[in-house]
Chain A
Amino acid sequence: MSDTHAQSAAFVRREMVPPAAPPPGEVGPLRWVRENLMSSWFNAILTVVSLYLIFMILSDILPWTLNGIWNAGSLSECREIRNARELESAACWAVINERWLQLLFGFYPTDDRLLASWFYAEELAAAGGMEAVFGLAADSTARIEFVGEMKRSLGNLTLFFFGYWRPLLALVLLVVAVAPVLYGSLPRKMLLFSLAYPFIAVFLLWGGSVWGPVTVAAGLVAAILVGRVVGGLWGMLIGLLSAIAAFLFIFFNPLGIIGVQGLFPILPHVVGMLDQIMPIGLPAIDSDDFGGFMLAIIIGTSGIVLSLPLGIVLALGRQSDMPLIRWICVSFIEVIRGVPLIVWLFTASLLLNYFLPPGTDFDLLLRVIIMVTLFASAYLAEVIRGGLAALPKGQYEAADSLGLDYWKSMQLVILPQALKISIPGIVNTFIGLFKDTTLVVFIGLRDPLGLTNAIRATGEWNGIYWELYIFVALLFFTFCFFMSRYSMYLERKLATDHR
């Protein structure tokens, strides 16, 4: 056939034509623009409109942000500098520059002794000066003036690292404690540190004698060991009860709660004795002094850690065969979810004392943590219930037919799957919880938004809004954005369905 063709046709191509380059509209950025921005006339209009909008917004915001004034003592000074530079608009970032420590830590006291040694090392002044000053009473004029002068000359960054080393160390250790939980590739031994972390954090943040947390931790370890030896249901019960007791102690005891100490009257004596033998401790700090973004992290982290187990228990309870248990769980969940968090916080601050034994008066911060935990656990319970309901019935039946008892089947078969399905919802609840920590401002805790009001109330910064709000918003955004990205990572990592 090819021969006849060769004779009948004037020209036959004998080799392949080299592929031509695609037309210019089909390659590179041009193609991308055509496909993603101009695929139809409607899309082209949308692109133009969006570009215009972006231009309008950026032309307002960018000069304002970039021309920002970082060094000024007050808002009026900022305005003078702006007028001197003949700028149309300029952010007054000086307020952040001056007050960022306050926004982060509220009125948490700095470690003045450490600062002073740093100060003297820098100044190379007489070594005796420090002792002379710190021998004075904390509220004496000479000392206050000295500390004020010292802080001014040291600068905010030194203050951050040396004055606030306690919350800072607690935060760094928090990252270390959380890391093995978040990333499975880290050594499992690190989980031991995660278990010890609550005690370390309470000691670092609230201070006081080191023997309080140590005794409680030792008691907890002993109880768990006893539980192990006894074994079975009773062992589990002992472990659980001692964990609850330890929780009560670790949170209540540094705060001097009479009611809880009354339950175990020996503990304060043991702690006191140990403290006399070997006095190790940090200056005690009252939780009234806690504030700033630190407060959001403390409430948020405790709420997240405590609400997850409670949420799981509630979700299981809601699915239970036992009508009474189910009824209790359902009413708890519905009542908590039906009422806004603000109302619960007001309840915690106004009403909780009515329902406690006469004479008990415990810390507002702790009440808030408990309320936030209960609130988040009800939402978590609903999310996890969704996960439980989404599992095929066969999984439950398979676990039963293997002869696993209820807790074993939940632990080994049902919960791993149900929790995996509910990861997005769980993390969303956590993000919500973290954001809701701002609401504590309404019951008088000094959260970052409350501190913006306090800053605005001073003469120097009266009338400054945007810079403070932007700073606080960025702080929250960073944390929440990290959480949402982590949940996406976890979903991808745990995905077992190959679609």
Chain B
Amino acid sequence: MADITDAPRDGFRLSQLLYDARYRSMTIQVIAAILLMLMLVELVDNAVTNLAALGKDIRFSFLWSTSGYDINQRLIPYTSQDTHARAALVGILNTLLVAFLGCILATVIGVLAGVMRLSKNWLVARIMTFYVEAMRNTPLLIWILIVFAVMTEATPQPREFREGGGASMILWDSVAISNRGVFIPKPVWAEGSGLVVAVFLLSIAGIFVLRRFARKQQEQTGKQLPVFWISLGLFFVPALLTFFVMGRPISLEMPELGGFNFTGGVQIRNSFIALWLALALYTSAFIAEIVRSGILAVSKGQTEAAFALGIQPNRTMQLIILPQALRVIVPPLISQYLNLTKNSSLAIAVGYMDVRSTLGGITINQTGRELEGMLLLGIFYLITSLIISAFMNLYNSSVKLKER
């Protein structure tokens, strides 16, 4: 072999740089590197010249100055006296909140729609096809605007909730849907509520331990524990018992109509609801298709083989179909989560205060630091994306078919 690949050892000629496969890739890379450097130098040089002409510099100190604007939805304490950095953090949390809740709702609706689209029931399958096609073929922005219009235009004003006003609260007078937002009860934590929460968390941990134990026992002895019922019991009973033993420390503060608006309870703004629902509905259509193709990707022989082994239908689903379908479903599903997170920047359409509106919007307008602001904004989204795709890669490598 070595005899064949060894090239004649006469002197190096310049033309070899272009025509000899051994050197050509080197030549191309050197040229590419030079071009890249030239381009970067040009860009940086232009930026420096232009910024100097405008009398600007690149500094991030604006982050620590007083922001001077209010944010109407905040998960951490914030006033207009706080810094721009804190405003950005509030925005980041808002982005993550709507993205997280959106992913959950989108998954629920998407899985349902995907399974129902495969239903043997013709009508249900058609309805779901219509839903999926309608959602996938129209821009997300329209859906956000439509849901926002529904929330602000088609819902009653708070004053209509008065006696004889025509509107009423739902769910035993605990939730009010009005054009100022949705008002839901707010939990009030009295003394002793910490114990209830702790017991609840412990019982959830207990469920995980139980499942692991049940699996181990099944693998060793072949006996199956009634995991579902025990889990259900563990989920509710200990927490409820503590709740009553401690004298019901957690109570709900109901929203009440006072003056022109509701007081008490928690106000969920229409901007949040519009963004959340629209993102979830839109993404759910894509998830539905992913779920459908994932289930179809498992060949029918797998089901038949499981039945031939005498495995019951629900166990077949759980042990044979789902693990194989999930391998197909999860990677595109995670990239849909990624899309949803990035699409949450459409918050601008309804005035939801996400990170683009705080850091990439008002802060930039107030400080005139568009270069720095956009850079930080880009880095935030980039890091979020990279983290999510890192999770995906981790999952991918864990479920990858081990091939030789």
Measured between beta carbons, the chain B residues less than 8 angstroms from A473 are 138-139, 142, 146
Measured between beta carbons, the chain B residues less than 8 angstroms from A87 are none
A339 touching B382 by the CB < 8 A rule?
Answer: yes
Q: Bound state CA distance, A431 and B135, in angstroms?
A: 12
B124 at the A interface (CB under 8 A): yes
Q: Bound state CA distance, A323 and B33, in angstroms?
A: 11
A435 touching B123 by the CB < 8 A rule?
Answer: no
Chain A 406-444 per-residue mask, 1 if CB under 8 angstroms from chain B, else 0: 000000000000000000000000010001101101100
A343 touching B124 by the CB < 8 A rule?
Answer: no
B378 touching A339 by the CB < 8 A rule?
Answer: yes
Measured between beta carbons, the chain B residues less than 8 angstroms from A340 are 342-343, 345, 356, 381
A29-88 interface (Cβ within 8 A of B): 36-37, 39, 43, 46-47, 50-51, 53-54
A342 touching B356 by the CB < 8 A rule?
Answer: yes
A50 touching B123 by the CB < 8 A rule?
Answer: yes
Chain B 371-404 per-residue mask, 1 if CB under 8 angstroms from chain A, else 0: 1001001100110111000000000000000000
Given that A347-B374, A354-B371, A435-B140 are contacting pairs, would A43 and B145 also be in contact in the complex, using a CB cutoff of 8 Å?
no
Q: Bound state CA distance, A334 and B384, in angstroms?
A: 12
B224 at the A interface (CB under 8 A): no
Given that A50-B127, A469-B142, A469-B145 are contacting pairs, would A343 and B121 also be in contact in the complex, using a CB cutoff of 8 Å?
no
Q: Bound state CA distance, A422 and B261, in angstroms?
A: 54
A201 at the B interface (CB under 8 A): no
B49 touching A51 by the CB < 8 A rule?
Answer: no
A466 touching B149 by the CB < 8 A rule?
Answer: yes
B46 touching A43 by the CB < 8 A rule?
Answer: no
A350 at the B interface (CB under 8 A): yes
B137 touching A431 by the CB < 8 A rule?
Answer: yes
Name the CB-closest residue of A to B52: A358
* Chain-A contact segment, one of B24-32, B64-72, B173-181: B24-32
Measured CB to CB, the closest approach of chain A to B342, in angstroms, equals: 4
Measured between beta carbons, the chain A residues less than 8 angstroms from B374 are 343, 346-347, 350-351
A335 at the B interface (CB under 8 A): yes
Measured between beta carbons, the chain A residues less than 8 angstroms from B319 are none
Given that A47-B124, A346-B360, A358-B53 are contacting pairs, would A351 and B371 also be in contact in the complex, using a CB cutoff of 8 Å?
yes
B50 touching A353 by the CB < 8 A rule?
Answer: yes
A469 touching B146 by the CB < 8 A rule?
Answer: yes
Q: Bound state CA distance, A51 and B25, in angstroms?
A: 65
A354 touching B127 by the CB < 8 A rule?
Answer: no
B371 touching A339 by the CB < 8 A rule?
Answer: no
Measured between beta carbons, the chain B residues less than 8 angstroms from A351 are 370-371, 374
A161 at the B interface (CB under 8 A): no
- Picked from A338, A449, A472, A480, the residue with its CB within 8 Å of the CB of B386 is A338
Name the CB-closest residue of A to B379: A339
- Picked from B120, B370, B381, the residue with its CB within 8 Å of the CB of A36 is B120
B121 touching A465 by the CB < 8 A rule?
Answer: no
Measured CB to CB, the closest approach of chain A to B26, in angstroms, equals: 9
A449 touching B119 by the CB < 8 A rule?
Answer: no
Chain B 128-149 per-residue mask, 1 if CB under 8 angstroms from chain A, else 0: 0000011011111110011001
B137 touching A480 by the CB < 8 A rule?
Answer: yes
B36 at the A interface (CB under 8 A): yes
Q: Bound state CA distance, A54 and B133, in angstroms?
A: 17
Measured between beta carbons, the chain B residues less than 8 angstroms from A342 are 345-346, 348, 356
B139 touching A438 by the CB < 8 A rule?
Answer: yes
A476 at the B interface (CB under 8 A): yes
Measured between beta carbons, the chain A residues less than 8 angstroms from B134 are 477
A138 at the B interface (CB under 8 A): no
B122 at the A interface (CB under 8 A): yes
Given that A46-B121, A322-B25 are contacting pairs, would A339 and B381 also be in contact in the complex, using a CB cutoff of 8 Å?
yes
A3 at the B interface (CB under 8 A): no
Name the CB-closest residue of B to A436: B139
Measured between beta carbons, the chain A residues less than 8 angstroms from B119 are 43, 46
Q: Bound state CA distance, A350 and B373, in angstroms?
A: 11
B169 at the A interface (CB under 8 A): no
Name the CB-closest residue of A to B28: A322
Name the CB-closest residue of B to A469: B146
A435 touching B138 by the CB < 8 A rule?
Answer: yes
Measured between beta carbons, the chain A residues less than 8 angstroms from B49 are 358
Chain A 92-121 per-residue mask, 1 if CB under 8 angstroms from chain B, else 0: 000000000000000000000000000000
Measured between beta carbons, the chain A residues less than 8 angstroms from B345 are 340, 342-343
A465 touching B53 by the CB < 8 A rule?
Answer: no
Q: Bound state CA distance, A356 and B32, in angstroms?
A: 21
Measured between beta carbons, the chain A residues less than 8 angstroms from B120 are 36, 39, 43
Chain A 341-363 per-residue mask, 1 if CB under 8 angstroms from chain B, else 0: 11100110011011111100000
Measured CB to CB, the closest approach of chain B to A113, in angstroms, equals: 36
Q: Bound state CA distance, A357 and B44, in angstroms?
A: 10
- Picked from A51, A343, A356, A476, the residue with its CB within 8 Å of the CB of B46 is A356
Measured between beta carbons, the chain A residues less than 8 angstroms from B136 are 431, 480, 484
B76 at the A interface (CB under 8 A): no
Name the CB-closest residue of A to B146: A469
Chain B 39-72 per-residue mask, 1 if CB under 8 angstroms from chain A, else 0: 0000100110111010000000000000000000
Given that A342-B346, A351-B370 are contacting pairs, would A435 and B139 also be in contact in the complex, using a CB cutoff of 8 Å?
yes
B142 touching A449 by the CB < 8 A rule?
Answer: yes
A337 at the B interface (CB under 8 A): yes
B138 touching A477 by the CB < 8 A rule?
Answer: yes
B85-132 interface (Cβ within 8 A of A): 119-124, 127
Measured CB to CB, the closest approach of chain B to A280, in angstroms, equals: 38
Measured between beta carbons, the chain A residues less than 8 angstroms from B36 are 328
Not counting A476-B137, A477-B138, A484-B136, a sample of 13 additional A-B residue pairs whose C-beta atoms are within 8 angstroms of each other reads: A46-B123, A53-B127, A323-B29, A334-B386, A339-B381, A340-B356, A343-B377, A351-B370, A355-B47, A358-B46, A441-B141, A472-B142, A480-B137
What are 12 A-B interface contacts by the 8 Å CB criterion? A328-B32, A339-B382, A343-B378, A346-B360, A354-B50, A355-B46, A435-B137, A438-B142, A449-B142, A465-B146, A473-B142, A476-B139
Pairs of residues from A and B, 10 with the lowest C-beta to C-beta distance, nearest first: A36-B122, A338-B385, A480-B137, A340-B342, A338-B382, A435-B139, A340-B345, A324-B29, A438-B139, A465-B149
